[in-house]
Amino acid sequence: MLNFRLHHLKLRNKLIVIYVICVFIPIVLTNVMFYHVTTINVKKQKTADAEQAITLLQSELRALIDDAAGISYLYSIDNQLNNLLNIDHTSYDRYVESLSGVSNLFNRADKEYKTISSVTIMSDNPTILTSGHIIKLEDDIRDTDWYRQIANYNNTYPHLFVTYDSISVIQKLSDRRYEAYENVIKIDLNKNYVTQILDLSGFEGDIYLLDPSNQARYGRLASGQPSKLITADRTLRLNEIPKPNKAIVISKQYQSNRYLGDWKVYGVLDEENILYDVRQSGRFILWFAGINFLVPTIVILIFSRSIHTRIQDILKHMKSVRGNNFERVPYYQERDEVGELAVEFNRMSARIENLINDVYVSEIQKKELELRQRQAQLHALHSQINPHFLFNSLETIRMRSLMKGESQTAKTIQNMAKIFRKSILWKRSFVTIREELELIECFLEIQKYRFDSKLEYHIEVDQSVMDIEIPKMAFLPFVENASIHGIENIPGIGYITIQIAQEQEQIIFIISDNGVGIDQEKIDELHRYFHEDAAMGDSIGMKNVITRLKICYGESFNFAIISDPNKGARITLRLPITRKE
């Protein structure tokens, strides 16, 4: 079925289908799949690199904060510093003397810890004087956010405090439940060092530091600038953090740490930025696909034009042959299959033209003459059948009328009138089976009138075949032969049975009788008429019917005789069905 449908496509359309399926679609699919796979791989790799960068940044920030927490821990366990902060100094000199004892502690922190911006100790001990790293804990300090964050804590553990522009570690150095004075240390991380860590992290997006309540306390954009949405008076909730349409979010949470527990390093990456190089290469792929599309298209168009135009030219000349135009196809010594086709067509065209001129015209004239002759013979036969039959019938009627004067004479005359009328009115070569049967019944009724009670007949006809056309008087001569030659010479009652039916695409006519039968010589003569092209004679009978049927149907009809001497005969005709259009 598929091959049959493909055969209906023109050659040019077939070439287009081949091009689309074998060139265009594979090129498009290949480039699309290549671009898609490349995009996925680059996205996966960039995401993995970004996640690794966030993990490294988280680790470095933790190390930085751990250093500050370590310093605060060292300060909290230093006995000299605790004595300095918690005793009442009786004089300025005594305080200076105690302060000089812990100066090495501050100097070491300044020299060894470059990640620390400042270390400030605040105390509400009234005997302490403000100096360098130690200042008084006054009300303005207690009003700050970082102090309020640790005010309710009695423990002496470090606490992380982050603002939009600083990161600090704060720790109480004394417990007010057990000591008279409150002492707090605040260590500020080196802002430049934190910025350097962020710059070297390799993360190409926005970075935020989220507290345990998912508030963004610190933000740095991909451009290297701090987030303007985070200020001294404002933080960002998690759902307020700006994200692009296609965002890749990476969140790393600190675990198992007192001062960093539940803090997060939150990174937002724009997918369009990480796929920028792929998008740029996509233009190259597009140009490359365009070249792959354009070049094969031009080549296929050139080659298909070479084939299509020449085949169209050959087809045009082929169609012109139907009008007896045998013009040759222009040939320029092409060596491909189309060129060979043109050569063969020119050779064939020349041969056909010669055959038509030399043979076909004369043969047509001969066939037309023979057809006219056969038609003339057919018309002559028709003109002979009707007078011959009418003569015998009228003679019978005359003799019966003279001898008996029966009332059946009127019916016989009516049947004769029908036959005579139909013989005059039938001007066409084909009639329906219904019309043929009317003629047969009229003939048999007349024969019954002739033979008195010596003839009986029975007709069986399939009603579906009544309107099918057959040659005029195709069956009647067989009926006449059965009644006159078969029944007339037997001593008893003669029976004639006629059956007409349809079998597949054939009309089956069977006539059988119980008469004297047909001798073998007569059967051989009829078969000779059937198998040989014998000329139609002047007599009326089955031989000329067979000749007429051969004229009408050629070899498409079948004729068979079964006969035993003194037991009757059975004749079968098989005619092809010719329906009205």
pLDDT, average across residues 216-221: 90
Out of 18-27, 38-47, 102-111, which region has the weakest mean confidence (pLDDT)? 102-111
- pLDDT exceeds cutoff 60 at 577: yes
- What's the pLDDT at 537? 47
- What's the pLDDT at 45? 86
- What's the pLDDT at 498? 93
State the residue range of the domain holding 64.
13-272
DSSP 3-state of 223: coil
pLDDT higher at 555 or 134: 134
- Report how far apart, in Å, the C-alpha atoms of 278 and of each of 28, 175, 285 are: 18, 60, 10
Largest CA distance in the chain: 188
pLDDT, average across residues 238-243: 89
Out of 78-92, 156-170, 205-219, 309-323, which region has the weakest mean confidence (pLDDT)? 309-323
pLDDT, average across residues 74-97: 82
pLDDT, average across residues 11-29: 78
What is the C-alpha to C-alpha distance for residues 206 and 249, in angstroms, rounded to an integer?
10
- What's the pLDDT at 520? 83
Number of independent structural domains in the chain:
2
Domain boundary at 223, 239, 272, which?
272
- pLDDT exceeds cutoff 80 at 531: no
- pLDDT exceeds cutoff 80 at 341: no
User: The pTM is what?
Assistant: 0.50
- What's the pLDDT at 331? 66
pLDDT higher at 203 or 419: 203
Dihedrals φ, ψ of 333, to 5°? 60, 40
- pLDDT exceeds cutoff 60 at 360: yes
Dihedrals φ, ψ of 264, to 5°? -130, 145
Judge whether 352 lies within some domain.
no
CATH number at residue 96: 3.30.450.20
- Report how far apart, in Å, the C-alpha atoms of 248 and of each of 99, 223, 303, 358 are: 53, 17, 51, 90
- pLDDT exceeds cutoff 70 at 204: yes
Judge whether 238 lies within some domain.
yes
What is the C-alpha to C-alpha distance for residues 491 and 203, in angstroms, rounded to an integer?
128
pLDDT, tens only, 506-526: 999 999 998 888 888 888 877
What is the C-alpha to C-alpha distance for residues 104 and 117, in angstroms, rounded to an integer?
18
- What's the pLDDT at 501? 93
pLDDT, average across residues 357-377: 64
What is the C-alpha to C-alpha distance for residues 316 and 310, in angstroms, rounded to an integer?
10
Q: Of 484, 403, 497, which Cα lies nearest the Cα of 447?
A: 484
- pLDDT exceeds cutoff 80 at 114: no
The answer to whether the CB of 61 falls within 8 A of the CB of 296 is: no
- pLDDT exceeds cutoff 70 at 368: no
For 511-570, where are the alpha helices, taking DSSP H only?
Answer: 520-531, 542-553
Tokens for 398? 């005359």
HSE-up of residue 512 (Cα within 13 Å, Cβ side): 10
b/e 511-522 (16+ beta carbons within 10 angstroms → b): bbbbbbbbeeeb
pLDDT, average across residues 470-492: 84
DSSP 3-state of 232: coil
- What's the pLDDT at 508? 93
pLDDT band for 396, please (50, 70, 90 cuts).
low
What is the C-alpha to C-alpha distance for residues 288 and 315, in angstroms, rounded to an integer?
40
- pLDDT exceeds cutoff 80 at 182: yes
- What's the pLDDT at 386? 52
pLDDT higher at 89 or 241: 241
- What's the pLDDT at 339? 72
Q: CA 77, 79, 85, 86 torsion: positive or negative?
A: positive
- What's the pLDDT at 539? 42
Q: Which of 264-273, 396-405, 478-487 has the highest mean pLDDT?
A: 264-273
- What's the pLDDT at 87? 85
Tokens for 343? 């050569």
Q: Of 207, 248, 197, which Cα lies nearest the Cα of 227?
A: 207
- Quote the Cα angle for 516-518-519, to 5°: 110
pLDDT, tens only, 425-463: 555 778 888 988 988 888 888 888 777 778 888 999 999
Q: What is the DSSP letter of 131?
A: B
What is the C-alpha to C-alpha distance for residues 519 and 463, in angstroms, rounded to an integer?
34
Task: Identify the bridge partners of residue 48 per DSSP, sorted by sequence position.
Answer: none
Judge whether 552 lies within some domain.
yes
Judge whether 288 lies within some domain.
no
pLDDT higher at 533 or 127: 127
What is the C-alpha to C-alpha distance for residues 299 and 366, in angstroms, rounded to an integer?
56
- What's the pLDDT at 538? 41
What is the C-alpha to C-alpha distance for residues 169 and 117, in angstroms, rounded to an integer?
11
Judge whether 460 lies within some domain.
yes
What is the C-alpha to C-alpha distance for residues 171 and 73, in angstroms, rounded to an integer?
8
pLDDT band for 362, please (50, 70, 90 cuts).
low
- What's the pLDDT at 532? 66
pLDDT, tens only, 31-44: 788 878 888 888 88
Judge whether 136 lies within some domain.
yes
Domain boundary at 272, 305, 329, which?
272
pLDDT, average across residues 559-578: 87
Domain boundary at 272, 292, 309, which?
272
pLDDT higher at 299 or 323: 299
Count of residues making up the chain: 581
The gap between the terminal CA atoms of the chain, to the nearest Å, is 30
Judge whether 336 lies within some domain.
no
Tokens for 14? 């077939």
Judge whether 518 lies within some domain.
yes
What is the C-alpha to C-alpha distance for residues 388 and 382, in angstroms, rounded to an integer?
10
pLDDT, average across residues 146-164: 81
Q: CA 48, 49, 52, 54 torsion: positive or negative?
A: negative
Out of 148-157, 273-282, 330-339, which region has the weakest mean confidence (pLDDT)? 330-339
Per-chain mean pLDDT for the chain: 79
